[in-house]
A and B are shown apart, each in its own frame.
Chain A
Amino acid sequence: MPSRTVSHGASGRLRGLFLVMVLVFLEGSVFTVAVASSDQHSPITAHSGSHKATDHGSHNNTGKAFPVLDLNYENVRVPFEISLWVLLASLMKLGFHLVPHLSNIVPESCLLIVVGLLVGGIIRGTGETVPPVLDSKLFFYILLPPIILDAGYFLPIRPFMENLGTILIFAVVGTLWNAFFVGGLLYGVCQIGTESSSILSRIGLLQCLLFGSIISAVDPVAVLAVFEEIHINELLHILVFGESLLNDAVTVVLYHLFEEFSGIGSVTLLKGFLGVISFFVVALGGVLVGVLYGILAAFTSRFTSHTRVIEPLFVFLYSYMAYLSAEIFHLSGIMALIACGAVMRPYVEANISHKSHTTIKYFLKMWSSVSETLIFIFLGVATVAGPHDWNWTFVTVTVILCLVARVIGVVGLTFIINKFRIVKLTTKDQFIIAYGGLRGAIAFSLGFLLNKEHFPEREIFLTAIITVIFFTVFVQGMTIKPLVELLAVKKKQEAKRSINEEIHTQFLDHLLTGIEDICGHYGHHHWKDKLNRFNKKYVKKCLIAGERSKEPQLIAFYHKMEMKQAIQLVESGGGIKMPSAVPSTVSMQNIQPRPSTKPAPERAIPQLSKNKEEEIRKILRTNLQRTRQRLRSYNRHTLVADPYEDGLSDLFLKKQKMFQIEKKLKEMNTYLTVPAPPPDSPTMCRARLASGKHTDFKPDQVQKGNKMCSDPQAYSIKPASNKVPMIQVDLASPQSPDSVNLLDEFGQANQQEEEEQGLMMKPPSRPREAKKPSEEDEAKDQQRLMRCLSDPGPSADEDEDGAFLP
């Protein structure tokens, strides 16, 4: 079709245009940065370097009394540059995805480093000095925390805790092994393999060990960047990622230790022992600081119900303070940040509003994404900036040793760990763990921090570090995806958790705790159970505001799922919004009224006017909080059931009747003081219907008339025999719980309406019999309507047919 190709061409052209714009911008920004960095030169040379400034500058040289146009770059220099860099980073990120196929082959981190190299190259090419962008302070205090906080806040606690032992062993013992192996062997090579006059032989053992400790730490940024794209299974992901996070403590201790020792020049046993102690202090202290701030944050969030807008700010501020406080005492800031995020999350999420939750999530993702991009670009620029001292022996030996050490370390440790694990790590797993040990910008920054006086060989170190980083990020990063495919490593399961899983997980927990009790064995589950009890009894009461503190986890989970589903329905449907009330039944004050409408498929009502929809929505919204349960019953029993002979216009009629019912409901408002539990949620309704079953909503004791409204608690749902013909309208896929029983709601409601009860759930058996004949007709029509409306798979169709047998 001609229109198609035209549009395709247009989008292709647009893409090209965008890329050109990006490139031009890149050029411009580079020059401006170059100008900025060379500001100390005379204005003339500065002008010669920039496009934009020249125009203005030349005007100024005339003897004007009042400068109409003036150039004053100095004032805005720093913020301008920063913004420029960030903008560049973001545009790059956009640009990659526009180029087809590129993002599939090359991981983003590689591309970003290349961009950084380009930018650095351009700057150098114009003769300016490359600004030292990867300043350690900038890196550690501004670029790194968002990434770590993002990781810590969204850390999947369960798999992390289950594998904590393994992770700790890899992080601590593995890093130590790597550091000493690499450092020691490097020293040996330097001494033995080279002539005594070469610079290498002058590198002392301590320096080598320090270098080893810098280079051996697996980098969380790089791991995140690469692993995010390969979607391996949760276990491996959490193992490598957890290791990269927790080895920070080891790195910090080793780094400071060896730095001290190199400065002093002598090592005593006492110092070694102190080093070990300091490791525990650093690690546990960091965690403690994090937990403290986490609790503070949770406690603060308890009181934010009136100022919802600044809720996210507390999360960020407390976490950042935790990081900085840990850094004050030379504790592990990363561990503090992780502990803070992980601890505060369950409580904060129970307290804050839904919007704040979204805000936190997206801000964290945004910051961490930008940070990551910037880090990689800066790595590229810093590579060009130098100063470099390339030494073939040193560099190659380093690279080889790193790889070898990693492999040996992983294999050896796994052998020991597997004795304690229930689920053993297979060879494939080990390979991925070893291969996923990427080094990144942390190593570079630590190297950058080295003092030149104490470490004359700093440049050699830096070069080697950069080479290792490049090697791991490029070679390993690019090849890990095809390798994962080749080895058929289990991938991440995309499906969301179902409520069955949640129930069963909890059930299993209890079961295993019980078994452990019988065995008399105080294991994993026992302590977890104890912690949970403690949490429920004391901690939650303190840290969670109001009603939510008593809410068991299953209920919270259930709410979340229902909410998600309701939102999904609203988004996907978009057509008529049915007044089928809130999915969940909890009557808690601080749960906002949900987007409780169930839309029909778009196809169903193409002609409903927008105005009508808006009115309906408004009415529902204003009445929802109080009338939840009424809407429920209203939903099923009170709506007028229009015969669907003509389909579309009838739906319109139905809408009208709904309005009338609404009015009636308003009058009956007083009847329902207690928000009665809706006897059936729309999900259940849908589900039941989607499953083609016939259900009947027969409240327990309601055999008489409508006087039972004051006793809503008595309602319970019993699936009745096949009485009511069911209709399904499948939105998504057949048999998905998302299928909407639009038409049937009406069907049900019709009956009730006829009896003018409007509110109660009466046993519809009587009226139903009377309506049977008409229903048969309806059924057929509904069937017809169904066929033209919905988009079901074959099985749904069969169900429909079966469903219409009375």
Chain B
Amino acid sequence: MGSSSSSRNKIPNAQELMRQTGFSSAHLLRLHDRFESLDRDNRGYLSPDDFEALGGLAMNPIGGRIIEAFFSSGIPWTFPPLSGFWLISVQLTETETKKEHSKSSPAAGPGSSNLYDLDRDGKISREELLQVLRAMLGLQVTEEQLQSIAERAIQEADLDKDDAISFDEFKKSLEKMDIDTKMSVSFLK
């Protein structure tokens, strides 16, 4: 899988994409290959069942959410948006230096706050948190344990006492965690 110029021609607007996203041609090629292998029906864009076919995602407790997050924005996932997607850095970090940080990392995920916040009201309510916990912990714990944990989590993070975690509170509670270092996936060269 070499990045010869002929293969680069497969990708439309390769140059422009490379400029936009900052990926190298090898990266782009890899992503494109992946795109093609995902897009089984050769429709030119990705749909939810393409993703659901991925075994790993099926086993992943939040796989459903990831798929939802992908497709909820309504963008038809042809290749250029997909490569653009990879650039969406975590919206938790807004300072300039950190922006550079995440730009230099080859890939970052969608804002994880959005993944929690399903109804898009800008806050993570207790119910949403509970759903996340339920998904992650599954059948192993009882309902009230989940309740306790959710309660405690909200209590710790909720600064304006509205019983939900807004985006800012979310950011604040995780500022110690050095999120941007964790929210990146590095591709092998």
Interface residues, chain A, with chain B CB atoms under 8 Å away: 420, 422-423, 493, 495, 498-501, 503-508, 510-521, 523-526, 550-552, 554-555, 558, 561-562, 583-587, 677-681, 683-684, 687-688, 690-693, 713, 715-717, 719, 737, 799
Contacts and interface: CB of A to CB of B under 8 A. Distances in A.
Contacts of A518: 34, 38, 51, 54, 57, 66
A519 B185 contact: yes
B1 interface: no
B155 A517 contact: no
Contact of A688 (B54, B107, B153, B155): B155
Contacts of A678: 144
Contacts, number: 186
Contacts of A715: 144
- Among A495, A680, A681, residue most surrounded by chain B Cβ atoms (within 10 Å): A681
A684 B142 CA distance: 17
Interface in B88-120: 101, 105, 107, 109, 112, 115-116
Contacts of A585: 142, 144-145, 147-148
Given A504-B112, A519-B31, A677-B143, A584 B181 contact: no
Contacts of B182: 505, 508, 512
A713 B126 contact: no
Nearest to A735: B159
B163 interface: yes
Contacts of A505: 177, 182
Interface in B167-189: 173-174, 176-177, 179, 181-188
Interface in B123-170: 126, 129, 132-133, 136-137, 140-145, 147-149, 151-158, 161, 163
A503 B153 contact: yes
Contacts of B60: 510, 513-514, 517
A561 B153 CA distance: 12
B176 to A, nearest CB: 5
A801 to B, nearest CB: 14
B112 A520 contact: no
A233 to B, nearest CB: 9
Contacts of A516: 56, 185
A500 B133 contact: no
Contacts of B187: 519, 521, 523
B9 interface: no
A683 B155 contact: yes
B62 A507 contact: yes
Contact residues of A: prevailing secondary structure? helix
B78 interface: no
B37 interface: yes
- Among A500, A587, A680, A687, residue most surrounded by chain B Cβ atoms (within 10 Å): A500
A507 B116 CA distance: 9
- Among B105, B115, B137, B177, residue most surrounded by chain A Cβ atoms (within 10 Å): B177
B145 A526 contact: no
B22 interface: no
B55 to A, nearest CB: 8
B122 interface: no
Contacts of A690: 155
A519 B107 contact: yes
A679 B177 CA distance: 31
B140 A683 contact: no
Contact residues of B: prevailing secondary structure? helix
Nearest to B132: A507
Contacts of B147: 585, 677, 679-680, 684, 716-717
B61 interface: yes
Nearest to B115: A511
A521 to B, nearest CB: 6
A684 B56 contact: no
A677 B151 CA distance: 14
B80 interface: no
A717 B61 CA distance: 24
Given A691-B155, A693-B161, A715-B144, A508 B112 contact: yes
Interface in B45-92: 51, 54-57, 60-63, 66
A691 B56 contact: no
A498 B112 contact: no
A519 B37 CA distance: 10
A401 B175 CA distance: 42
A512 B90 CA distance: 12
B163 A693 contact: yes
Given A507-B132, A517-B54, A499 B152 contact: yes
A511 B144 contact: no
B153 to A, nearest CB: 5
A584 to B, nearest CB: 7
B145 A677 contact: yes
Nearest to B33: A520
Contact of B56 (A524, A526, A737): A526
A727 to B, nearest CB: 15
A495 B155 contact: no
A521 B106 CA distance: 13
A500 B136 contact: no
A498 B156 contact: yes
- Among B133, B145, B183, residue most surrounded by chain A Cβ atoms (within 10 Å): B145
A517 B56 contact: yes
A498 B34 CA distance: 38
